Chain A
Amino acid sequence: MGLNECTVRELSGRLKRGEIATEDILEDITIALKADSESDEPINAYISFDPSLASSLVGETPEGVGKETLLCGVPVAVKDLINVSKTPTTCGSAMLKEYIAPYDATAVINMRRNGGIPAGKLNMDEFAMGSSNETSYFGAVRNPHDRAKIPGGSSGGAAAAVAANLAVCALGSDTGGSIRQPASMCGTFGIKPTYGRVSRYGLVAYASSFDQIGPITKCVADGALLLEAISGYDPRDSTSAKEKTAHFIQFVGKSIDGLRVGVPEEYFTEGLDEEVKNAVLRGIGLLEKAGAVVVRTSLKYTKYAIAAYYIIATAEASSNLARFDGIRYGTRVTDTNDLSRLYKENRSRGFGKEVKRRILLGTFALSSGYYDAYYLKAQKARTLIREDFTRAFRDVDLIVTPVSPVPAWDIGTFVDDPLQMYLSDVYTVPANLAGLPAASVPCGTTSGGLPVGIQLIADHFNEADIFRAAGVIEEELQ
């Protein structure tokens, strides 16, 4: 068994005992990547991978490697919208194909202090805009379980790399489900923390009021270790929370006896694939068997979540992406004496179709005459959705739902139907609208062998209950 196939827990123990070095793990990842790139249908999980650069970072963090740290020198692949100093941060876009990050994101700084070694930048939907990882300038990512299928998005490279043992673990980001949906479709664990738990400093912004960095890992315990390693208050992020970081791994394997689990009826209606439904119900059954008290609950504003989310997210995106003009940021493709032409040429050639569509939609929603009808209305609907969860969490500790209404679909299916693609985010966006922590845990496969995840949503800063329940599901299914 190659070291690339091991979990963080297994590797950190061996690193600590001095049995292996980080370079040994990097070597096995390099071999696996070479084999994949030479296959007929490569997964295309990475945008850049430089093992010598990763090795050089080992020497720069002597306090974290091979010591009593959380990660002890384990390589961590990073989605390519999170800054790692001296490496490209392309955001999967032609616009930033030449951009080299001058500093580490705070999550990366924290991770390195805890012994994590940034190793490679992962493919993703352009500027994290997509649910299928087909919008990347660097090509689509394939699902390791069926190469004709999408891996999910936008952290599709991260989930596919972890599932195919092309990475030990990874950092992704989640704005409307971009950690949980690919984790579900690739059969890995993935958790979006409470908004504010992990600093967004050094994460290229898509929709600032939703974006969160989080781990994608082979098992629940690895997710707990990596989340602890990256969390913490950061004065450089004005939305960072002054919450204590727990030692999350202590909750993995803990009893869930008496845990109150709510199952919202609105998540089990028309449009939910039968096989996905059965896998999720089986997961709920496992929780009940382990002592959880399962009750029905209601989140009655769920059907408004997609509309509210896509108005707010695209509005924020249209503002955030204004900086990419070929002057301050972005590749400059033309020189002209006409300022407006300079901006338009650079932006029109630098952005792909989906990014342009979301900028146009967001600009429209914010424009004079339409602001009240769209943006303000969506922000008010967001309040109702947040209050829905507040009410539900008076009676339950955890809410359990499907992650995606369908398993991974064929590459190319929704390329010309963006609305259908947006609607596939129906079960993941509510947690972003409410700022809640939510995870995807593998809970079965379809008859075609495609993984299915179950979503666990907890109240703000209650990731502990997610790890308790996730640990039980994982253990029961092994």
Chain B
Amino acid sequence: MKIDGKTIQWVAELSQLYLSAGEEAEMKRHLVAILDYMAILNELDLEDVEPTSHTLGYSNVMRDDIAKESFDVGIVEDLAPRWEKGHIVVPRVV
């Protein structure tokens, strides 16, 4: 698998991660080795094989939309990084 610096930077951007030059070189080296190994799957004939996402074959069942008790506001307040006048304070950019 050919992975260049640009590909690593693009994937880091999608992942919302900064990588230093040293990290980028190390990640590139490791990802190339790992993806080269993954090529083993190319030996398989998967043309007529269905993908598996759940091993027991369950599918989603929607429940009725019933209001239930949720967390006490005090618990939420304790968890919030900043709390003022009954509200969670987040950075302006959000």
Residues of A within 8 A of B (CB): 100, 102-103, 195-196, 209, 235, 238-239, 241, 301, 303-304, 306-308, 310-311, 318, 322, 325, 327, 332, 335-340, 342-345, 347-348, 351, 353, 356-357, 359-361, 363-364, 367, 374, 376-384, 386, 418-419, 422, 433-436, 460
Q: A357-B27, A460-B56 are in contact. Are A377 and B15 (CB under 8 A)?
A: no
Contact of A383 among B41, B49, B76, B78 (CB under 8 A): B49
Find residues 24-68 in chain B having any chain A CB closer than 8 Å to their own CB.
27, 30-31, 33-35, 37-38, 40-44, 46, 49-56, 58, 60-61, 63
Most chain-B CB neighbours within 10 Å: which of A241, A364, A435? A364
B56 touches A241 (CB 8 A): yes
B8 CB to nearest chain A CB (Å) = 7
Of all chain B residues, the one with the shortest Cβ separation from A331 is: B81
A359 CB to nearest chain B CB (Å) = 5
In the complex, besides A327-B90, A360-B15, A435-B54, 17 extra interface pairs with C-beta distance below 8 angstroms are: A102-B79, A238-B61, A239-B54, A304-B41, A308-B41, A310-B34, A338-B93, A360-B31, A361-B34, A377-B46, A379-B53, A380-B49, A384-B46, A384-B49, A419-B33, A435-B56, A460-B56
A266 CB to nearest chain B CB (Å) = 14
For A301, the chain B residues whose CB sits under 8 A away are 44
B36 CB to nearest chain A CB (Å) = 9
Of all chain B residues, the one with the shortest Cβ separation from A325 is: B16
For B42, the chain A residues whose CB sits under 8 A away are 377
Report Cα–Cα, A331/B90, bound state, in Å.
13
Of all chain B residues, the one with the shortest Cβ separation from A210 is: B55
B11 touches A360 (CB 8 A): yes
For A348, the chain B residues whose CB sits under 8 A away are 17-19
Most chain-B CB neighbours within 10 Å: which of A337, A345, A353, A380? A380
Does residue B75 face the partner (Cβ distance < 8 Å to A)? yes
A403 CB to nearest chain B CB (Å) = 20
Q: A310-B34, A386-B55, A435-B56 are in contact. Are A327 and B14 (CB under 8 A)?
A: no
A376 touches B34 (CB 8 A): no
Report Cα–Cα, A191/B41, bound state, in Å.
29
For A342, the chain B residues whose CB sits under 8 A away are 91, 93
Of all chain A residues, the one with the shortest Cβ separation from B91 is: A335
Q: A360-B31, A419-B37 are in contact. Are A384 and B60 (CB under 8 A)?
A: no
Closest 8 pairs (CB-CB, A-B): A435-B55, A379-B51, A380-B46, A348-B18, A339-B93, A380-B49, A343-B16, A382-B52
23 residue pairs from A and B, CB less than 8 Å apart: A103-B71, A241-B58, A310-B34, A327-B94, A337-B92, A340-B16, A342-B93, A343-B16, A345-B18, A347-B15, A347-B17, A356-B19, A357-B27, A360-B27, A367-B10, A367-B11, A367-B14, A377-B41, A378-B41, A380-B50, A386-B52, A435-B54, A436-B55
Of all chain A residues, the one with the shortest Cβ separation from B88 is: A327
Of all chain B residues, the one with the shortest Cβ separation from A340 is: B16
Report Cα–Cα, A140/B75, bound state, in Å.
33
Q: A360-B31, A380-B50 are in contact. Are A339 and B94 (CB under 8 A)?
A: yes
Contact of B51 among A100, A310, A376 (CB under 8 A): A376
Report Cα–Cα, A337/B17, bound state, in Å.
17
Of all chain A residues, the one with the shortest Cβ separation from B79 is: A102
B93 touches A336 (CB 8 A): yes
Of all chain B residues, the one with the shortest Cβ separation from A196 is: B56
Of all chain B residues, the one with the shortest Cβ separation from A345 is: B18
B22 CB to nearest chain A CB (Å) = 11
B21 CB to nearest chain A CB (Å) = 14
For B27, the chain A residues whose CB sits under 8 A away are 356-357, 360
Q: A332-B81, A360-B12 are in contact. Are A239 and B91 (CB under 8 A)?
A: no
Report Cα–Cα, A356/B26, bound state, in Å.
12
Report Cα–Cα, A384/B43, bound state, in Å.
13
Q: A335-B91, A337-B92, A435-B56 are in contact. Are A347 and B41 (CB under 8 A)?
A: no
